[in-house]
Structure 1
């Protein structure tokens, strides 16, 4: 860590019989420093520089004897290099999905923080080079294709220095880029907030590395769009009758559909996230012949892609969302899901490693596969007008259907949050409209109480 001092003494220049005869001496704190020059003019120029910095109240580096502004200028690196340093810092302890988020943000910002655009690669090549190579640490030891190599060399040469980010206009340019998609349209609010958060962390790291005096982001007058996901849109959520019809339609989609019916059932009846189900093992289930069973959720396997995981597999292995790696969530499952799972295991068996759900080759169930089955089931179940809406658009909407059904059934929100693997705060914010679903009942109770006051005594 650099040691700074404001105690500076600068002495006069003395001449000695050496190759560089003019010597300047000064002291920072208790440490003496000296520098020799060929001419008296050069020595006087350095002396004036030190005196000016000292009179301006600038801190001096005890080690080098130089004022802070000069030390920072000597340390200054390009944003491109700083972004790679930031990715390197975060990589080893980040899940694969988070790594893609870092790369996405750094690629977005690095593409606009350049000195000029002369000779700049086209947008698609630039994006591929930055996202897939410059900010993917797993590929740093791999020789890239020639066009990628040239693109990376261009960004390394043209990237703005970190000192430029002390200017509000430069930071604003980066934030504006975070708010746009590659096609120029405005990004979703959740994407903008995520990119801004990562960019903020990168700038905080620059302060820690003494590349910036302070993080310029908090003081900047730039307001991103309001969050659009504060409340769940009820139009997306199928009611219990429709949800069961969709599950029946899934089974009608051939062998793959029959294999996935219980998979979708876990999302609907157990409010599990798809990533929590793909690795579900037979030992994670308690399936009695009658009554309710239990489902043990202890890990998530989101798909990030082979280039981003340490294992080289497409799916990463991590703990439950926003929970410690060792956290476990036991979810009671109704007889309907117990029967589905018992039937599934009897008919299809399990993978050699115990996984309940697998592809025909024994691999992890993919979004592309179950997404296609869900699309066809939706087309077979909904009316033409309903197909144009957001109703049950994604398999994930079955999870929303489960949580909303529990809430509308009168289950305590604290228990719903526990079973769904959410905090109570998130539950109240995200499912606010469903918590208001008991208004009619509440109004009737209030009316009955008010009516009591009108009765004659």
Structure 2
């Protein structure tokens, strides 16, 4: 933090013969002496007058630089573009790959709103590519930049507003409007808007800490995100137990790649595991008895961030559980159906060299593109034409939703469901609100019984 003081003493200019810059201005701020030398007396007199004017105007002086606040603020008034890059650099080292992508996305979204004018601005997709893939991807800062990207980034360097411009609420409001839109101009999803606004807010807090702005302008702006549907799982996308069984059978009945993935999808359906958790599952974390229920200890995820965003240059990272401490373990009891699938899988395919249960035919990490293709083929085989055209089990992740909804509809306590699924009770109530009852027919029956008691 800057140390300010009004205790300033400015001396007359002295001339030191034989020096390249003989005219020396000396002054003291608090207990710290400062000096600057000039080639001509006129330059020295001008600087001295500038300091005296600030002193007479009652400005505080910075003890480190020796300058009045007005000059300190001017020197610190970097552009938004430069600040955004500094923010990315500050966050980069401690952020996983997917978070880095989210940071870059947010900065790439708001940066076009902080320009002096749009004259000569490249088209939307060129701007997106230059900002997202290059300006705000620190891994690429030392790489040779394509000529078209250099041209776009040079434009932003020239046109970017100074940080002092963020004192204008209308300027900041324009950035909020930008982060609520997708690239095609349509309204973004509520979760996307919330994430980007949080990052934008944090970048402004960083600016406050760096003393580029006096306070966070978002705290002074009343702004409501575009109205969104409450976040919840659409029951129409969730397969029932019979449909889930048909889908898993359709996976198994495909080629060898399908047979290698039936237990993979089974972990998502029977254990509500996230795909990245299944990819990282190790045989040592599986209790698979010959009879009865087994147990999975989920402790590792292998999220796919893309080679451009990881320190290792590999597509997948090795992380702990989502929203949990690094060494946290989630214990999930699994039914005999999944125990049997996993036992068969391990007998048929063994494990990867590092003990992972699931691997490609070449021993690598299971890829989302690969299992996505298998899932799409399973839907076409297992579902009726009407079901196939619907959102029913459209994504493999819907198997996780099916697991949670099955547990809830079976009468399992929400607290226990949340614990096994690996999220909070609040998320459970918000996202799975439509599955927290016994269903309409059961509810109607209970009401009818109650009404009948009054007649």
TM-score by length of 1: 0.89
- Does residue 38 in structure 1 map to residue 38 in structure 2? no
Pick closer, same or farther for the CA change 1:385–1:253 going to 2, 3 Å.
same
Show CA shifts across 1:351-374 (max 9, x none). 222222222222111111111111
The aligned residue for residue 332 of structure 1 is 333
Is the contact made by 1:190 and 1:228 (CA closer than 8 Å) also made in structure 2?
no
Q: 3-state SS of the aligned residue for 2:201? A: helix
Q: 3-state SS of the aligned residue for 1:38? A: helix
- Does residue 312 in structure 1 map to residue 313 in structure 2? yes
Tell me how far apart the structure 2 counterparts of residues 230 and 399 of structure 1 sit (CA, whole Å). Answer: 16
Q: 3-state SS of the aligned residue for 2:113? A: coil
Show CA shifts across 1:55-103 (max 9, x none). xxx5432333433232121112121211111111111111110011111
**Pairwise CA distance, 1:122:** 3.2
Tell me how far apart the structure 2 counterparts of residues 367 and 101 of structure 1 sit (CA, whole Å). Answer: 19
Is the contact made by 1:15 and 1:21 (CA closer than 8 Å) also made in structure 2?
no
Q: How many residues align?
A: 448
The aligned residue for residue 345 of structure 1 is 346
The aligned residue for residue 4 of structure 1 is 4
The aligned residue for residue 200 of structure 2 is 199
Q: What are structure 1's unaligned runs of at least 5 residues?
A: none
Tell me how far apart the structure 2 counterparts of residues 35 and 394 of structure 1 sit (CA, whole Å). Answer: 67
The aligned residue for residue 243 of structure 2 is 242
Is the contact made by 1:8 and 1:29 (CA closer than 8 Å) also made in structure 2?
yes
Q: 3-state SS of the aligned residue for 1:353? A: coil
Q: 3-state SS of the aligned residue for 1:387? A: helix
Is the contact made by 1:99 and 1:308 (CA closer than 8 Å) also made in structure 2?
yes
Is the contact made by 1:106 and 1:135 (CA closer than 8 Å) also made in structure 2?
yes
**Pairwise CA distance, 1:403:** 0.5
Is the contact made by 2:115 and 2:160 (CA closer than 8 Å) also made in structure 1?
yes
Q: How do 1:99-248 and structure 2 match up within 5 A? A: 99-226=100-227, 228=229, 230-248=231-249
Is the contact made by 2:251 and 2:375 (CA closer than 8 Å) also made in structure 1?
yes
- Does residue 371 in structure 1 map to residue 390 in structure 2? no
Q: 3-state SS of the aligned residue for 1:295? A: strand
**Pairwise CA distance, 1:119:** 3.8
- Does residue 47 in structure 1 map to residue 48 in structure 2? no
Is the contact made by 2:285 and 2:297 (CA closer than 8 Å) also made in structure 1?
yes
The aligned residue for residue 288 of structure 1 is 289
Pick closer, same or farther for the CA change 1:401–1:17 going to 2, 3 Å.
closer
Tell me how far apart the structure 2 counterparts of residues 236 and 206 of structure 1 sit (CA, whole Å). Answer: 43
Tell me how far apart the structure 2 counterparts of residues 155 and 453 of structure 1 sit (CA, whole Å). Answer: 73
Q: 3-state SS of the aligned residue for 2:261? A: helix
Tell me how far apart the structure 1 counterparts of residues 318 and 437 of structure 2 sit (CA, whole Å). Answer: 37
Tell me how far apart the structure 2 counterparts of residues 419 and 172 of structure 1 sit (CA, whole Å). Answer: 41
Q: 3-state SS of the aligned residue for 2:217? A: coil
**Pairwise CA distance, 1:224:** 1.2
Show CA shifts across 1:196-219 (max 9, x none). 111111110000001010010121
**Higher mean displacement: 315-324 or 244-253:** 244-253
Is the contact made by 2:437 and 2:443 (CA closer than 8 Å) also made in structure 1?
no
**Higher mean displacement: 266-275 or 244-253:** 244-253
Tell me how far apart the structure 1 counterparts of residues 15 and 141 of structure 2 sit (CA, whole Å). Answer: 52
Tell me how far apart the structure 2 counterparts of residues 113 and 235 of structure 1 sit (CA, whole Å). Answer: 42
The aligned residue for residue 258 of structure 1 is 259
Pick closer, same or farther for the CA change 1:59–1:392 going to 2, 3 Å.
farther
TM-score by length of 2: 0.89
Pick closer, same or farther for the CA change 1:334–1:97 going to 2, 3 Å.
same
Tell me how far apart the structure 2 counterparts of residues 15 and 395 of structure 1 sit (CA, whole Å). Answer: 77
Pick closer, same or farther for the CA change 1:378–1:14 going to 2, 3 Å.
same
**Pairwise CA distance, 1:124:** 2.5
User: What root-mean-square deviation, in Å, do the aligned CA atoms of Structure 1 and Structure 2 show?
Assistant: 2.8
Pick closer, same or farther for the CA change 1:142–1:229 going to 2, 3 Å.
farther
Show CA shifts across 1:124-157 (max 9, x none). 2322222122211222222223332333333223
The aligned residue for residue 393 of structure 1 is 394
Tell me how far apart the structure 1 counterparts of residues 454 and 182 of structure 2 sit (CA, whole Å). Answer: 61
